[in-house]
């Protein structure tokens, strides 16, 4: 089954609303074996919407339309699809009762324009909305399918996952199964080069790389009659990838470095502490994006000023005077200092020159020292790297490199 995702709304065309639907729906359709041929956006215009429906009806088996199901005059998606599919609209008392009940929960009466949302294309399957007043619909004609979904993500996503995906699964003959690798320290072109024969000879499974900020996502997908059949196809390819680029793989799923680090710390029952200078709290921010991280993460000190490095982290003044703030010696003293403050088993310190000013021939912009400290054994792992790019890239690269090296250490060290 081949699909088109058709996003309806003038607000998407003029850039006042970020379109996240295509990204989300493409991922979910891939999970159930539906390939997406096209992404399209059209404004709230009946003529142009009708033209889009006609074109993509011929070009694909499934159209998933988002938006235009609200109560206002410019919400016309349902009407245009009903006209194109050649079916009338009927008034649903069941939908009216549902909307009235929802308004009672809001503590106010239903407005008259919400009656527009009570009309249903004849023969359509109704998709009930858990979080709003706009019902969705599934229409079928001559073997082609149209799914109409509300625009707000908090309404669209549960409707799609709980009602549309099960419906589509029953109609998809092929099963797609994917395995993922997250890669750090190897660019997209280098990844493809090391796996060039696998890419050039691919049929089933297929391989695809996606460059992300500072890392690469590698996806391997098999197509077959069942997941068990697909796993047999995937396994030899997965093993070969591990053999060739295993040193660069930090996760075999689509997860962020901070999330994988969190998981390793939690599995080992360890606490982490951070001492940040040039990253300015970025590492802490990345970690606390994950719910439950307080299990493993207790403190981060942003010691941007040398006086704070000394007074809070205990970095000796003579170390700063002799070696400078951006040095291996200072990074080690910072990681030991935050370990003493926190009692954490693992501490990470980062100090560097993010730029664009502040560099010198001896210490250029982009120079960063990252130190990992095992408080139980007293062992340090220190890394020096010169990052390229603007200030944000230097800071992000430093944070990601430190997290990656921490993950690699946790894989082999008991702590």
CATH number for the domain harbouring residue 393: 3.90.950.20
Alpha-carbon distances, residue 72 vs 111, 156, 321 (angstroms): 11, 18, 68
Residues 223 and 277 reside in one and the same domain: no
Top mean-pLDDT range of 70-79, 210-219, 323-332: 323-332
pLDDT, tens digit (0-9, with 9 covering 90-100), for 251-286: 999 999 999 999 999 999 999 999 999 999 999 999
| Burial zone of 301 (CB within 10 Å; 0-12 exposed, 13-18 middle, 19+ buried) | buried
The pLDDT confidence band at residue 87, using thresholds 50, 70 and 90, is very high
Give the per-residue pLDDT at 260: 98
Residues 145 and 219 reside in one and the same domain: no
Residues 279 and 234 reside in one and the same domain: no
CATH number for the domain harbouring residue 149: 3.40.980.10
Give ∠ CA 344-183-398 in degrees, rounded to 5.
50
Over 90: is that where the pLDDT of 202 sits? no
Residue 28: name the closest of 145, 143, 176 by CA: 176
Over 90: is that where the pLDDT of 83 sits? yes
Residues 291 and 238 reside in one and the same domain: no
- Is the bond leading into 219 cis (omega within 30 degrees of zero)? no
Residues 138 and 82 reside in one and the same domain: yes
Give the per-residue pLDDT at 410: 97
Residues 245 and 266 reside in one and the same domain: no
CB atoms within 10 A of CB 52: 22
5-11 mean pLDDT: 97
Residues 233 and 305 reside in one and the same domain: no
Residues 323 and 353 reside in one and the same domain: yes
Over 90: is that where the pLDDT of 236 sits? yes
Distance CA 390, CA 387 (A): 9
Over 90: is that where the pLDDT of 415 sits? no
Residues 124 and 184 reside in one and the same domain: no
Instruction: Kindly calculate the radius of gyration of the chain based on its CA atoms and give it in whole angstroms.
Output: 27
Burial letters for 136-154: b for 16+ Cβ neighbours within 10 Å, e otherwise?
bbbbeeeeebbbbbbbbee
Q: Are 205 and 246 in contact (CB under 8 A)?
A: no
Considering its fold, how many domains does the chain have in total?
Answer: 3
Sequence length of the chain is 415
pLDDT, tens digit (0-9, with 9 covering 90-100), for 382-396: 999 999 999 999 999
One-character DSSP codes across 334-372? HHHHHHHHH--SEEEEEEE--SSS---SSS-TTEEEEEE
Q: Are 4 and 37 in contact (CB under 8 A)?
A: yes
Give the per-residue pLDDT at 301: 98
206-212 mean pLDDT: 93
CATH number for the domain harbouring residue 193: 3.30.70.2860
Where is the domain boundary, 147, 169, 191? 169
Give me the domain span that covers residue 191: 175-251
Q: What is the mean pLDDT of the chain?
A: 96
* Percent of the chain's residues with pLDDT above 70: 100
Residues 76 and 163 reside in one and the same domain: yes
Where is the domain boundary, 192, 227, 251? 251
217-244 mean pLDDT: 96
- Residue whose structure tokens are 């089954």: 1
One-character DSSP codes across 202-240? -SSSEEEEEEETTEEEEEEEEEESSHHHHHHHHHHHHHH
- Which segments within 1-160 are labelled E, that is strand? 2-8, 35-42, 62-66, 89-91, 119-121, 125-127, 136-141, 144-149
Give the per-residue pLDDT at 106: 87
Residues 7 and 140 reside in one and the same domain: yes
Provide, for the chain, the percentages of residues in helix, strand and coil under a 3-state DSSP scheme, each rounded to the nearest 5: 45, 25, 30
Over 90: is that where the pLDDT of 347 sits? yes
Q: Are 341 and 299 in contact (CB under 8 A)?
A: yes
- pTM metric for this prediction: 0.79
Alpha-carbon distances, residue 24 vs 27, 110, 163, 224 (angstroms): 5, 31, 16, 24
The pLDDT confidence band at residue 414, using thresholds 50, 70 and 90, is confident
Helix, coil or strand: residue 9 = coil
Q: CB within 8 A of 337, min separation 6: which ones?
A: 275, 309, 312, 313, 314, 315
The pLDDT confidence band at residue 173, using thresholds 50, 70 and 90, is confident
Where is the domain boundary, 169, 191, 216? 169
Distance CA 63, CA 49 (A): 12
Give the per-residue pLDDT at 382: 98
Helix, coil or strand: residue 373 = strand
Residues 10 and 152 reside in one and the same domain: yes
Residue 138: name the closest of 165, 174, 173, 175 by CA: 165
Over 90: is that where the pLDDT of 2 sits? yes
């Amino acid at each position: 089954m081949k699909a088109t995702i058709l996003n309806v709304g003038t607000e998407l065309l003029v850039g006042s609303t970020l379109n996240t639907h295509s990204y989300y729906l493409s991922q979910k359709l891939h999970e159930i074996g539906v390939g997406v041929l096209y992404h399209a956006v059209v404004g709230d215009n009946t003529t142009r919407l009708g033209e889009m429906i006609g074109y993509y009806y011929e070009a694909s088996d499934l159209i998933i339309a988002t938006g235009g199901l609200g109560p206002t005059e410019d919400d016309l998606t349902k009407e245009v699809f009903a006209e194109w599919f050649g079916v009338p609209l009927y008034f649903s008392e069941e939908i009216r009762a549902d909307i009235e009940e929802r308004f009672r929960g809001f503590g106010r009466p239903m407005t008259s324009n919400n009656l527009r949302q009570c009309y249903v294309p004849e023969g359509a399957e109704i998709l009930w909305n858990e979080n709003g007043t706009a019902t969705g619909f599934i229409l079928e004609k001559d073997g082609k399918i149209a799914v109409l979904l509300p625009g707000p993500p908090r309404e669209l996503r549960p409707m799609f996952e709980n009602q549309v995906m099960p419906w589509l699964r029953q109609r998809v003959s092929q099963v797609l199964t994917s395995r993922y690798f997250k890669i750090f320290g190897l660019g997209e072109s280098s990844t493809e080069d090391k796996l060039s024969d696998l890419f050039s000879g691919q049929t089933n499974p297929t391989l695809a790389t996606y460059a992300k900020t500072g890392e690469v996502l590698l996806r391997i997908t098999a197509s077959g009659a069942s997941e068990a059949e697909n796993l047999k196809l995937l396994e030899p390819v997965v093993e070969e990838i591990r053999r060739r680029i295993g040193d660069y793989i930090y996760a075999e799923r689509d997860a962020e470095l901070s999330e994988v680090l969190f998981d390793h710390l939690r599995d080992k029952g360890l606490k982490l502490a951070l001492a940040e200078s040039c990253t300015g709290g970025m590492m802490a921010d990345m970690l606390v994006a994950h719910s439950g991280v307080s299990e493993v993460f207790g403190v981060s000190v942003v010691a941007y000023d040398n006086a704070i490095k000394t007074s809070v982290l205990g970095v000796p003044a003579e170390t700063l005077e002799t070696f400078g703030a951006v040095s291996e010696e200072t990074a080690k003293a910072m990681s030991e200092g935050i370990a003493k403050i926190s009692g954490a088993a693992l501490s990470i310190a980062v100090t560097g020159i993010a730029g664009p000013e502040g560099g010198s021939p001896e210490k250029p912009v982009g120079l960063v020292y990252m130190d990992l400290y095992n408080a139980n054994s007293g062992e340090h792992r220190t890394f020096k790297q010169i990052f390229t790019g603007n200030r944000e890239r230097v800071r992000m690269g430093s944070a990601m490199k430190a997290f990656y090296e921490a993950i690699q250490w946790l894989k082999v060290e008991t702590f």
